[in-house]
Structures are given as C-alpha cells and as structure tokens.
Amino acid sequence: MSDAADKVPGSANHEKAQPVSGWDNLYQHLAVLLWCTTMEIDLIIHIVFFYFIRWLWPFAVIYWTWAFLIDSETPYRGGTDALRFIRDWSFWRHFKAYFDAELIKTCDLDPSQNYIFGYHPHGIYCFGIWPSFLTDLNNFSGLFPGIRLRGTTLDMNWRIPLWRELHMSYGLISVSARSIKYALTRMGPGSSVMIVIGGADEALQAYPGTNDLVLDKRKGFAKIAIQTGAHLVPTFTFGENDLFYQVTAESNPKLRGYQNQFMKALGFSLPIVTNRPFFFFPNRRKLVSVVGAPIEVEKQENPSREYIAQVHGKYLEGLQRLYDEFKDQFAADRTRDLRIVA
C-alpha cells in the first residue's frame, strides 16, 4: 500500500495480502457463493416445505401471522438485532478475504449527531457494503465509535417469507421515507442509515473500469436529511463496478430496452452478467470503501427546493472530491473517471 493510504486518519486492513492456501481459497469462494445465492436458497426451502414436508404447513401459518401481521412494522421502526449472530458469523471473514476488502475513513464523525451515508456505486450486488458497513469485519465500530448504522433496502424485500428475516439479520430496514425518518429521529444520537442512492438504474451502468452514477435527479435523500437534521456522508467503494461484466446498452440496445421496461414494472433491475466460467461469480478484485467528510445541513421541516438543491449540490461536490483524492491509488486502471449520467 502506498504512503498516501497510511496518512489517512483511519483505516482497517492495511497489511499486505498473504498467500492463500487451498482450503482458504475454497472457504472464500463458498462465502461469496452463499452471499450470491441466498434468494435461491430461500426458494428451495419454500419448495421443500410446501411440496415434501406438508406437516409443517401449520407452522408456516403461525410464522406468516407473526411476520406479516404482528411483526410487520419492524422494518419500518428501526429494525432489530435479534438475529445479529448471522452477520457476526466468523465464516464471513472469508468473504472479506476474497475481495481483500478495506475500509478507510478520512475524518471522525460526531456520535451525538445522526447521519445519512450515501453508498456509491451500486454495482451489481453491492458487495462492498457487507464487510465495511453492515458487519464489523473492517472494524466500522472502532473507526466510528458511537455510530449505529442501518442499511436500507426496497419494500418488496419485506414481503417475502424468511427473506425478510434474513434481511433484518443483516441490519437492514426499509428505504421508505417514514422508515428512514424513524431511525434518524426516534432511535437516539448516533443512529444513522446508509442508502444506495443510485439504485436499480445504477446497477445497469456498472461495468469494469467505469464509475457512472445515477444521482443528478435523486434529491429525496437530501430532503430527508434536512427534515431530520441528519448530516450527509458520501462514501465510495473502489472496485465495486469491476466485479462483473454485463451486457451494455451499446452492445445490445434492444435487450437494454427490455431491461428498462422490467425495471419500471417491478422496481428493480436485472443485469445480464457475462462472467466466465460462472456468470454469477464476481471477479476477484480488491474493494476499498472510503468514507468522506460529512456535509452539514440546517434542519427545516419544510425546506425549499432551492435549499434542497443546494445541499444536494454540496453532496455531489463532496463525493467528487472523495473520488478524486483516491482514484489514482485505488482505480489506477480505470478507463474513465466518475460521471453523473442521470
């Protein structure tokens, strides 16, 4: 690692990568495979239960009653740590090792303040968010003491049996405005959320060597920050877009048109990845998540469009500075610099 990295105020995992043994390599691939196939595993469990173990149906009814009637508001009221042991599982260290994942901070964060972290870029799976922000694999709690961070995800994820529990075990909550506002105003100082702002649109822009962001018209996060008084923290994960090759609008415009229609209809995108030999398996690239300086906001219940645009502009400037500061160190082989494409 260059001297520039050693000068930042805080960083985890600066040591050089060690040789990987055969068993370690196997465990690393298994950890990544597990992360990539949780939806398929959830589907298999449902098929087995409903077609082969019918005596479990009464228990399924009890679970549905609890999950969708009694516990339905939990993802909108700060989530839960009841299943935290899943993300604290030591096996996930192999996931971190596969990507040689690293977390760098550029300044301290005041634990008496609440924050909205913006995660960029989305990539295909948001792999970098797991070792650096949702778990403590990269010592987030040590680098940012007193900051209790929740990730956010689409509401559709809370409507799928068992899948919703898995997402809550990851420390996720709903990305809806009411959910974010609850976490920032009702859970005390230091309670913060992370939003992957580019969303489904940005996933379709992910391609190695590029960092194209969908951010220009997305100002909702800035409005919520102003309404709650939460400061904005830009973060950038170098290497996130280098994990998959996918069909692009240039290579197949007709297919991209179908993808856009699918995204508008269902709210999430379906990138067509072309990795070899296993299309669903990410390239082994280093992931470096850098946390920038917070952008302070003035709390207002009914902010004007002008002030929202002003805060949004400051956020874009902060994100650009963060990228420019570290791009030569962690994206030296890029084909082009960061672009705001929509």
pLDDT one-digit tens code per residue, 266-294: 777 778 888 776 777 899 999 999 999 99
Between 48 and 77, whose confidence is greater?
Answer: 77
Residue 12 has pLDDT above 60, yes or no: no
74's tokens: 């939990």
Q: Average the pLDDT over each of 36-45, 204-213, 215-224, 276-285 and give the range with the smallest value.
A: 276-285
**Domain map of the chain by residue range?**
3-10+21-340
How far, in Å, CA of 39 to CA of 231, rounded?
34
Q: What is the tens place of the pLDDT at every residue in 309-337?
A: 999 999 999 999 999 999 999 999 999 99
- Report the mean per-residue pLDDT for the chain: 91
Mean pLDDT of the region 94-108 = 97
pLDDT confidence band for 19 (50 / 70 / 90): low
Partners of 340 in beta bridges: 213
Q: Which CATH number fits domain 3-10+21-340: 3.30.450, 3.40.1130, 2.20.28, 1.10.1740?
A: 3.40.1130
- CB environment 283-313: b (16+ within 10 A), e (fewer): eebebbbbbbbbbebeeeeebeeeebeebbe
Residue 2 confidence (pLDDT) above 70: no
Amino acid (one-letter) located at 302: N
DSSP string, 228-265: HTPEEEEEEEETGGGS--B--TTT-HHHHHHHHHHHHH
